[in-house]
């Protein structure tokens, strides 16, 4: 059976939810579920309806309300959108896996995640299943990002591949062990037949993406592994190696609370798309779509 369209009519949505058309009409008229009345017709976004349905399935007596904190990976587009949207979320930057751990402990309402799954070729679902076991969560796409080598202007060392980071004399700005960028670097090195200890890293790992670029710009490292946007912000050379998916992960009910709603509403606007284009290295065509649901 083919999947229903992303925007459904009253009849299609009622059949999908297994409700009568009258019951669905009454819910829509009372604004109790995601719907829009356009030209006299009710239309229903399937993704938002799915999240609403998951929210209804949670037992309200057992809900733990997490603080309005967005934990996990650092991303400059996300930083900017949180500020500009006025969503009220506080950010707790760290690594992707730490963000998922905070989500599992109800210390954050959402986690920013970009973790590769070498077995499937996908992103984030396997790590979320492992770090947030047994919970119903949904990952919405924030953006696709270019990851690669961040190098001094002009690339004086001529580095072009992940294996070049293992050259003698190359000091690399690395990330903490539970960061998505670190996990992706380990995966790429493994594909190239190299171990992590083949590289020479700075003594202290960089806590965020911008710290990687800063280490290269200031001459403390000959190379870093990070995103194009941070390289461009500092006028550095960038060699693209991977296109990764960056997701925001939250429990279905929390997606409907004002902070996350306001952030995602802002991410659907022109200002967000313009900012992504100016930063560079982002693809935001899929922003707000469901990456995975557990």
Answer yes or no: do 237 and 151 share one domain: yes
Give pLDDT tens digits for 56-114.
665 554 567 889 999 999 899 999 999 999 999 999 888 899 999 999 999 999 999 99
Answer yes or no: do 154 and 195 share one domain: yes
Question: Does the residue 159 lie in any domain?
Answer: yes
Question: Does the residue 103 lie in any domain?
Answer: yes
Answer yes or no: do 165 and 277 share one domain: no
Full domain range(s) for residue 14: 7-57
**In 3-state terms, what secondary structure has residue 32?**
coil
Last residue of a domain, one of 34, 57, 80: 57
Question: Does the residue 1 lie in any domain?
Answer: no
Complete DSSP assignment for 81-102: HHHHHT---EEEES-HHHHHHH
8-state DSSP, 206: B
> What CATH number should be reported for the domain holding residue 34?
1.10.10
Answer yes or no: do 21 and 33 share one domain: yes
Give pLDDT tens digits for 208-263.
888 999 999 999 999 999 999 999 999 999 999 999 999 999 998 898 888 999 99
Answer yes or no: do 153 and 207 share one domain: yes
Answer yes or no: do 155 and 237 share one domain: yes
The whole-angstrom separation of Cα 42 and Cα 36 is: 6
Helix, strand counts (H, E) of the chain: 11, 15
The predicted structure's pLDDT at residue 5: 83
Give pLDDT tens digits for 21-70.
877 887 887 777 888 888 788 898 888 888 777 766 655 545 678 899 99
The whole-angstrom separation of Cα 20 and Cα 209 is: 50
Answer yes or no: do 127 and 164 share one domain: no
Answer yes or no: do 287 and 236 share one domain: no
> What CATH number should be reported for the domain holding residue 206?
3.40.190.10
Number of domains composing the chain = 3
């Amino acid at each position: 059976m083919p999947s229903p369209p992303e925007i459904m009519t009253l009849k299609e949505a009622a059949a999908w939810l297994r409700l009568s058309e009258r019951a669905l009409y009454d819910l829509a008229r009372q604004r109790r579920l995601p719907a829009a009345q356009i030209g006299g017709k009710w239309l229903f976004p399937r993704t938002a309806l799915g999240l609403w349905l998951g929210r209804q399935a949670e037992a309200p007596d057992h809900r733990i309300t997490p603080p309005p904190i967005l934990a996990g990976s650092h991303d400059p587009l996300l930083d900017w959108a949180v500020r500009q949207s006025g969503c009220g979320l506080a950010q707790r930057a760290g690594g992707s896996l730490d963000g998922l751990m905070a989500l599992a402990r109800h210390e954050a309402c959402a986690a920013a995640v970009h973790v590769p799954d070498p077995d499937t070729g996908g992103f984030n679902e396997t790590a979320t299943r492992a770090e947030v076991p047994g919970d119903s969560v949904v990952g919405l796409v924030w953006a696709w990002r270019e990851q690669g080598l961040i190098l001094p202007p002009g690339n004086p060392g001529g580095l072009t591949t992940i294996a070049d980071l293992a050259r003698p004399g190359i000091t690399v700005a690395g990330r903490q062990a539970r960061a998505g960028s670190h996990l992706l670097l380990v995966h790429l090195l493994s594909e190239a037949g190299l171990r992590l200890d083949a590289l020479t890293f700075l003594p202290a790992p960089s806590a965020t993406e911008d710290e990687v670029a800063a280490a290269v710009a200031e001459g403390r490292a000959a190379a870093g592994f990070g995103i194009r946007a941070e390289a461009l912000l500092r006028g550095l050379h960038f060699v693209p190696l991977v296109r990764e998916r960056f997701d925001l992960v939250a429990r279905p009910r929390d997606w409907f609370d004002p902070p996350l709603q306001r952030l995602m509403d802002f991410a659907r606007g022109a200002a967000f798309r313009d900012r992504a284009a100016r930063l560079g290295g982002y693809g935001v065509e899929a922003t707000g779509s469901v990456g995975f649901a557990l």
